[in-house]
Each structure stands twice: as C-alpha cells, then as structure tokens.
C-alpha cells in the first residue's frame, strides 16, 4: 500500500495528502455511515490529467478509488474505507465557459451548484437543478446522483440539464460523451447512463450543462395549513389533476414544521404546511387558481407576490433536525396517486415502532423524505427495521427506493428487490464492462 502512495506522490506531488486530518475529513459524507479503517490518502485533483494519473496508478496496483465532491451525499456513496484512495474533485472548480448564444455552461466537476447559478444569472440565465444542498453540493455530485430538488417538478432533474460529459474510465482513458447540439441520437445514450451512476462507471471531470433564460416576471408564493398530512396530500393531488403547474410545491408535515419553527424561533399554529410558487407571465393567475383548489380542500391559504422567503423555511429542515441529533434522511418516491397512501404508511410505521418520523416531500413529483433522528453512535436497529418497512411500502405502492439521493451503501441490500434478478444482473454486467477490475467505488450500489 505504501508503494501506491509513493507512485501517486511521484506523479502528483503535494496534491497527495496523507495527514490524518485530511484523511478523516474526506472519509465521510452526510449519510451517517462510518466505514471501517482509514483510506490510504486523499488526492486533490486539479485537472482531468490528474484524474488520469490517479486511475492509471490505481489500475496498475488494483487499488480502490472513491471519487468525492462536496461530501454532501446522503446515501454513503462517497464514504471511503481501509486501503482506498480518495479522489477529491473539489479543487476542479472552474467555470470554463458560459454561452448566451447556446444557453450552456461548461464547468469542471467541482463547481458548486449555487456558484454556477449565480454566474449564469450575470448572463441573464440560470441553472435549473435545485437540490436543497445547492449552496455546498457540486455539479459533478449532482450529476453522479441525478439530484432533483425543489424545482424539478417543472424544470426536471439534473439529467435533463446535461448535454455532454468528459469522463475518465477506470483504465485512464478519457471519453467525451453526448452532444453539443440540442438534439442527438447517434449511438447509445451513455450520458444518461453516467448520470446517477454514483462514481461506479467512471469519473466525471467536466460537464456541458443547459441553462435557461431568466424569467423577469415576479414569482408568487402560496402557503397553506392543513390539519393533517392526508388532507394536504389530497390538495396536492387535486392541484396536479386539475392541470395546474407550480414551479415549486413542497409539503412539510406537522412534525417537521414544529422542529423547523422551533429552530428558527418562528412560532406556528399546529398543522402540515404546503408551500408553492408560480412563475412566468401567468404566475398571479396560476397562484390564485391553486389557492382556490386548496381552499376547496379545506386548507387555510395565504398568497403573496412579495419576497417572503417561505422556501428558506423548507430549506431549514435539515439543520433543524440536526439540532436534535443525528439524522437518517430517507428518500422514497411513489406515483402521485399514491402520495396519501405513502403518508398513511409512514404514520403506521411511527406507531408500530414508537418513533417520530418528521417528513417533507417534493409533493408535486411524489418524492418523500422521511427522517429518523437518533442520538447513538450507530443507527439504532429499530430505525433500520422501520426504514425497511418504509422501503417495502414504497415498492408495494409502485414506487422506488430512491428518488434523488442514490443507492450508495445505505440501500444496496434492497436494490435487487426493486429491479428484479434479471435486471440487477444486467446492471452489474454493465458495471463490469466499464470497470472490469472493480476499482471504482467498490461496495456501492451493488
């Protein structure tokens, strides 16, 4: 193992970090998973050429490589253990090009999502993927997990924004995948294969991503209170089935709303919150139509065209829960018609295990984030039992184990159940084609 580090140092010099502080700080993500043992070193790549050197040496020495961006993952996809190389792309943070003519940006993988969005706005455009972690998550990490967020119901998940990728394979070969053109169907769609691959097929070093023109119309915001989450989900379903298209529609259940209000020092009346935003030229009329639907469902509604940062209330979910202890943030998605049934299942699981499961949802696309708070070093057994029933309920309702966080370590034991044996084996074969030696993020997904 010392020989591997020596080769890396010979090739990359001070970009190879071996001090205990650097290693420990790069070992974890935000999943709560604690891997066994320490990685060999952290390599801070500054270029695609650096990544090529790391992978060629790792391939020669049959040494595992765990690629890392901002460390904000929630599924254990970027945790690293004994004998592994941590390949950090955080220093590859240059915005290489922004084109108004083509409505795109070319960026290195370590660019922070929010930094790209702010730079694009200077050119009258914006970057649509909007994960809650946008202030610290990287574009490369967003692509690796196909991140979603608050705006994806109207503007799509990360996959819809990716045109082209520069990827380094396990062999050290560099590929450019995709098309600069808006349309392009020559060959298999390998860009979509890499989006959501969690670092198991290759290392994404650059991306060409689509931008959208800034809409100068005011955004309208609605908030409503429902006595129960089931009544709130009915209002969501009526909104969508009525053909309405908010840009944001978030549900914060009564448990979560209570935690957030306490954390922010903003007293609230009891109840589940719905928060929605409308944009575009028709935003005021659309907001009023949504308000009417919610009122007909029995909700108390408030509507405004002011810059009331109700979205900040929603984004405060994680720090509010972390103020109470460690948090296991789950991520299931179900068809919209099953949203009420999924909330009912969560309440049943709460009662069965004597737990409180504060839940938020990207309501307009059926993506729920049930949360488990614990204070022990490891995630308690009863939490995992409750999570297992949560996953089973989502699958039984026609849903999925993960809407946007990825599989990583946390959910790999349930993946075969969702995919079925034949598809699971096919996907594993795809992994072997790209990484025959199994050095890329081993133990993740499969």
Cα 387 from Cα 130, distance rounded (Å) = 26
Could you give the 3-state DSSP secondary structure of residue 356?
Answer: coil
Whether 443 maps to a domain, the answer reads no
Whether 83 maps to a domain, the answer reads yes
Cα 177 from Cα 157, distance rounded (Å) = 19
pLDDT at 1: 63
pLDDT at 277: 94
pLDDT at 211: 97
pLDDT at 136: 86
Whether 69 maps to a domain, the answer reads yes
Q: Write the DSSP symbol of residue 112.
A: B
| Domain termination site, one of 323, 349, 384 | 323
At 351-404, the pLDDT tens digits run: 999 999 999 999 999 999 999 999 998 889 999 999 999 999 999 999 999 999
Q: What is the pTM of this model?
A: 0.92
pLDDT at 308: 58
At 206-245, the pLDDT tens digits run: 999 999 999 999 999 999 999 999 999 999 999 999 999 9
CATH number at 133 reads 3.30.465.10
Whether 441 maps to a domain, the answer reads no
63 is in which domain, residue-wise? 2-88
* Number of structural domains the chain divides into: 4
- Residue pair 408/331 in contact (Cβ under 8 Å)? The answer is no
Whether 296 maps to a domain, the answer reads yes
Low-confidence ranges of the chain (pLDDT < 70): 1, 305-308
pLDDT at 35: 80
Give the residue ranges of DSSP H helices in 229-380: 229-241, 254-264, 283-296, 310-315, 317-322, 339-353
- Answer yes or no: do 162 and 176 share one domain: yes
CATH number at 236 reads 3.30.70.2190
Whether 59 maps to a domain, the answer reads yes
pLDDT at 36: 81
- Answer yes or no: do 209 and 223 share one domain: no
pLDDT at 305: 63
Whether 437 maps to a domain, the answer reads no
Whether 442 maps to a domain, the answer reads no
pLDDT at 116: 97
pLDDT at 130: 85
| Domain termination site, one of 272, 305, 323 | 323
- Answer yes or no: do 228 and 310 share one domain: yes
CATH number at 408 reads 3.30.70.2740
Question: Hey, how many other C-beta atoms are within 10 angstroms of the C-beta on 235?
Answer: 26
């Amino acid at each position: 193992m010392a020989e591997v580090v020596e080769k890396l140092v010979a090739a990359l010099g001070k970009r190879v970090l071996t001090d205990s502080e650097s290693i420990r700080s790069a070992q974890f993500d935000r999943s709560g998973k604690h891997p066994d043992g320490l990685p060999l070193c952290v390599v801070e790549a500054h270029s695609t050429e650096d990544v090529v050197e790391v992978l060629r040496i790792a391939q020669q020495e049959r040494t595992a490589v765990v690629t890392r961006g901002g460390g904000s993952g929630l599924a254990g996809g970027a945790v690293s253990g004994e004998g592994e190389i941590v390949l950090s792309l955080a220093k590859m943070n240059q915005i290489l090009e922004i084109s108004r003519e083509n409505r795109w940006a070319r960026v290195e993988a370590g660019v922070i999502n929010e930094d790209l969005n702010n730079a694009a706005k200077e050119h009258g455009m914006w970057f649509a993927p909007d994960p809650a972690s946008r202030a610290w998550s990287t574009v490369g990490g967003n692509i690796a997990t196909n991140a979603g967020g608050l705006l994806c119901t109207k503007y799509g998940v990360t996959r819809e924004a990716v045109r082209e990728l520069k990827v380094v394979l396990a062999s050290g070969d560099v590929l450019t995948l995709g098309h600069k053109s808006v349309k392009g169907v020559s060959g298999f769609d390998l860009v979509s294969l890499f989006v959501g691959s969690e670092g198991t097929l290759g290392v994404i070093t650059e991306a060409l991503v689509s931008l959208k023109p800034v809409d100068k119309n005011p955004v309208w915001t609605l908030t409503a209170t429902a006595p129960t989450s089931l009544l709130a989900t009915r209002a969501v379903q009526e909104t969508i089935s009525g053909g309405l298209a908010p840009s944001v529609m978030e549900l914060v259940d009564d448990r979560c709303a209570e935690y957030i209000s306490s954390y922010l020092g903003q007293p609230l009346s009891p109840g589940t919150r719905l928060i929605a935003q409308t944009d575009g030229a028709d935003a005021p009329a659309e907001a009023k139509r949504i308000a009417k639907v919610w009122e007909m469902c029995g909700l108390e509604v408030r509507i405004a065209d002011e810059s009331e940062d109700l979205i900040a209330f929603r984004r405060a979910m994680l720090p509010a829960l972390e103020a109470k202890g460690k948090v296991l943030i789950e991520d299931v998605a179900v068809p919209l018609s099953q949203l009420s049934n999924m909330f009912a299942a969560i309440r049943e699981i709460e009662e069965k295990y004597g737990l409180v499961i504060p839940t938020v949802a990207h309501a307009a696309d059926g993506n729920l984030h049930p949360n488990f708070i614990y204070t022990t070093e490891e995630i308690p057994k009863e939490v995992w039992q409750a999570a297992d029933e949560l996953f089973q309920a989502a699958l039984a309702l026609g849903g999925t184990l993960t809407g946007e966080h990825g599989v990583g370590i946390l959910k790999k034991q349930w993946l075969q159940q969702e995919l079925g044996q034949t598809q699971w084996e096919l996907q594993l074969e795809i992994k072997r084609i790209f990484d025959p030696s199994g050095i890329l993020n081993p133990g993740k997904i499969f």
